Amino acid sequence: MLVQMQSHRAMARGPEDFHHLSSDRLVNCAVDPKTFQCPESTPPNDCTQCDFLGIPDWNTGLPTVQEMLGKHLKELFNIGVSMIRLDAASYIKEKELSLVVNQVPWDYIFQEWWSGMPSLGRSRYVGAYRDIFYGRKINQGLVQNAATDLPKLLNLTHGLDGLSPEQVIYPLAMHDSRTFDYDPAVPTYKGGLEFHLQQKFLLAHPAGHIVRLWGGYGWTDLDEGPPGCQQPNERCTPEPVFDAAGQNRCMPTPLTTPLDEDLAKSHRWVCEHRWAGIAGLIGFRKACRGLPITQKWEGDVEKGSLAFTAGDACFVALQREMTPLSEKLGDWPIVGLKTGLPEGRYCDVASLPTKKGWDGKSCPREVLLGPLGVVQSGSVLEGDLVAIHIGALLPDDAASEALEQLPRSKTIAEQRVCAPSHHISAAVALRGRSAPLGTALALVMMSSPLRSF
């Protein structure tokens, strides 16, 4: 909100347009950068009137300021921006914030939020909330915690207490959580295969009303701009993601954990949202989001293996990497697992490098199900997951031929109990207009068709 566009850049603004002490228009209370509290405000700890990180704080209670900020938002909307994130939203009074943002018919608004239960008015008149704690739970389950804790991921329903999942957008990675080097506790592209499994699980798990993917560029300095804009605070022209021949310049899908150090520090487009499997899993999430987990398999959980069925239409199996990373267990054969899905030949949509040009007749990795949905052939690569659903059934002729050639397997459900789950996640639906193509990746649960990538 501090940026002013050219059309109203000449509008004069003085100290009277900003919050300040009553005794001195050039001095104001400050938000403590360590505690994020405001002990010097009047009344105490009313941070909506104080300067954040030394930035002069607009007096958003003034109609003239509301008009000026509204003009900026209208210009953004007129050039095609239809969704916005409100940084430090809790430091602006909800009524004043609503008078600014509601001058434009946004498709979606979400507020930066860190703790506490927001007021009903803020939820109703401003917008949804960003909750980073959901992604942190995924990171803990797939990376930090012991493999025996994996089943806890199947009970994942929300992130921050006090926020309803229907009011929240869940990211895995974000700009405030970047690191110079690989850090297993902070999901970034520098984690390589480890990070990719986390973003795949974000899409494959049926919980969460809206989830957000990250697609960005590599960095060695947190102040670096995109490729072509190495120096901060200088006007520049970013290097296009696509070259003159129409080929993207994105980093290839990683195969190791962590990413090679030279690659991790290269200043180039990364495009995590274009990595293999993401396009297929967006379709999977559209088909499976909100379904209850009806079966789960955790017989080999100490080896990092976990599987579940959502409803009667979706099945996921994963094999996380072990710690230390030098300990390799290899692929997980899932033959004999009773999925509960109809018999047939399925595409593992998590293996599709792209959906652009895909004919739907074959797949890089396939899973063959026999009677009662018992897996006849299929395996999970270490550090990866398999995701199938009834919308990814492949043509029947090849499936029938393959089933005739395979011996009937005794189901794993007969060997060990494939326990029903008592976890129920509510079915949800997103209200509002469809997302335009340019925002389909940020909010993957919008109802409009997604651009192939």
**Higher-confidence residue: 220 or 443?**
220
Q: Can you tell me the mean pLDDT for 448-452?
A: 32
Residue 179 CB coordination number (10 Å): 14
Residues sharing a CB contact under 8 Å with residue 348, sequence separation 6 or more, in sequence order? 363, 364, 365, 366, 367, 378, 386, 387, 388, 392
pLDDT for the residue numbered 321: 86
Residues sharing a CB contact under 8 Å with residue 124, sequence separation 6 or more, in sequence order? none
pLDDT for the residue numbered 18: 95
How far is Cα 110 from Cα 443, in angstroms, rounded to an integer? Answer: 11
Q: Does residue 43 have a cis bond before it (omega within 30 degrees)?
A: yes
Note the pLDDT tens digit of each residue in 98-108.
999 999 999 99
What percentage of the chain reaches a pLDDT higher than 70? 83
How far is Cα 392 from Cα 355, in angstroms, rounded to an integer? Answer: 12
pLDDT for the residue numbered 60: 96
Q: Does 430 score more than 70 pLDDT? A: no
Average predicted confidence (pLDDT) for the chain? 85
**φ, ψ (nearest 5 deg) of residue 91:** -95, 10
Note the pLDDT tens digit of each residue in 52-91.
988 999 999 999 999 999 999 999 999 999 999 999 999 9
C-alpha closest to that of 374 among 398, 345, 343: 343
Q: Which amino acid is at 78?
A: N
3-state secondary structure 196-265: HHHHHHHHHCCCCCEEECCCCECCCCCCCCCCCCCCCCCCCCCCCCECCCCCECCCCCCCCCCCCHHHHC
Q: 302: pLDDT confidence band, cut at 50, 70 and 90? A: very high
Q: Does 331 score more than 60 pLDDT? A: yes
CB 66 within 8 A of CB 60: yes
pLDDT for the residue numbered 323: 63
pLDDT for the residue numbered 409: 46
Note the pLDDT tens digit of each residue in 392-417.
999 976 555 555 555 554 444 333 33
Q: Does 449 score more than 90 pLDDT? A: no
Sign, CA torsion 187/421/381/385: negative
Q: Does 432 score more than 60 pLDDT? A: no
Note the pLDDT tens digit of each residue in 225-276.
899 987 767 788 999 999 999 999 999 999 999 999 999 999 999 999 999 9
Exposed / middle / buried, residue 184 (Cβ in 10 Å: 0-12, 13-18, 19+):
middle
CA 311 to chain centre: 23
pLDDT for the residue numbered 433: 31
CB 418 within 8 A of CB 338: yes
Q: 330: pLDDT confidence band, cut at 50, 70 and 90? A: confident
pLDDT for the residue numbered 362: 95
**Higher-confidence residue: 329 or 260?**
260
CB 4 within 8 A of CB 68: yes
